[in-house]
């Protein structure tokens, strides 16, 4: 596979079905922002916690599925698609991490240890990706709504993992002052 083709030099790119679209389309913006989330999750690894690193590896693979899902306007039955089981994986991850955490009683500042702060950054970009995907879905029919639900749940998972890493690192959570 050649990295450069020149096909995108005029501001167009190919979808999975080889349809040409503008690089500024909502579809491309949506899955491009998901790619940013994936890169940020990759920056966090390794966290120094093998169990969390494995969860992040799974998340990165799921994010590739989200991108493939959104890049394909006409998916076949065997094409990669985010399923309810992916969302359930995140919910299980959140529940497991929550069992190790103190209950959340108010907002916290997104900070902490280096991996904790990076997870908070990934969470914020995940929220942006979700917003881009909602805009994309409002414009085009047939968008996999489960993929948008996945991104919503992912931002919760990244928040929870940030809290967990910070707790394990001995970093006290800080609340905003109003």
Tens of pLDDT, residues 25-64 = 888 899 999 999 999 999 999 999 999 999 999 999 999 9
Contacts of 72 (CB under 8 A, 6+ apart): 15, 16, 17, 79
Largest CA distance in the chain: 54
Taking residues 60-83, what's their average pLDDT?
92
pTM score above 0.85:
yes
Residue 75 reports pLDDT greater than 90: no
Taking residues 9-34, what's their average pLDDT?
81
In whole angstroms, give the CA distance from residue 149 to residue 170.
32
Residue 11 confidence class, pLDDT cut points 50, 70, 90:
confident
Class of domain 22-167: mainly alpha
Residue 17 reports pLDDT greater than 80: no
Residue 12 confidence class, pLDDT cut points 50, 70, 90:
confident
pLDDT in tens, 85-113: 999 999 999 999 999 999 999 999 999 99
| Long-range CB pairs of 47-56, under 8 A, 24+ apart, other chains included | 47/115, 47/165, 48/115, 48/169, 49/165, 49/168, 52/161, 52/164, 52/165, 55/93, 55/161, 56/161
- Let me know: does 167 contact 100? Beta carbons within 8 Å: yes
Residue 13 reports pLDDT greater than 80: no
pLDDT at 6: 81
- Let me know: does 156 contact 94? Beta carbons within 8 Å: yes
Q: How many helices (H) and strands (E) does the chain have?
A: 5, 2
In order of 16, 27, 131, 140, 157, the CA distances from 76 in angstroms are: 11, 18, 26, 18, 29
pLDDT at 25: 85
pLDDT at 18: 74
In whole angstroms, give the CA distance from residue 72 to residue 17.
6
- Let me know: does 86 contact 150? Beta carbons within 8 Å: yes
Taking residues 140-147, what's their average pLDDT?
93
């Amino acid at each position: 596979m050649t990295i450069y083709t020149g096909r995108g030099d005029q501001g167009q790119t190919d979808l999975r079905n080889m349809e040409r679209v503008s690089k500024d389309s909502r579809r491309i913006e949506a899955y491009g922002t998901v790619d940013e989330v994936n890169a940020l999750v990759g920056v966090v690894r390794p966290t120094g916690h093998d169990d969390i690193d494995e969860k992040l590896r799974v998340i990165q693979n799921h994010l590739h599925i989200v991108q493939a899902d959104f890049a394909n306007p006409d998916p076949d039955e065997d094409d990669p698609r985010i399923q309810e089981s992916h969302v359930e994986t995140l919910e299980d991850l959140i529940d497991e991490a929550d069992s190790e955490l103190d209950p959340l009683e108010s907002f916290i500042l997104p900070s902490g240890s280096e991996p904790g702060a990076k997870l908070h950054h990934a969470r914020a970009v995940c929220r942006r990706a979700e917003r881009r995907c909602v805009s994309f879905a409002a414009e085009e029919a047939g968008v996999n709504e489960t993929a948008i639900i996945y991104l919503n749940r992912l931002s919760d998972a990244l928040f929870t993992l940030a809290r967990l890493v910070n707790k394990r690192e001995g970093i006290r959570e800080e609340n905003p002052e109003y």
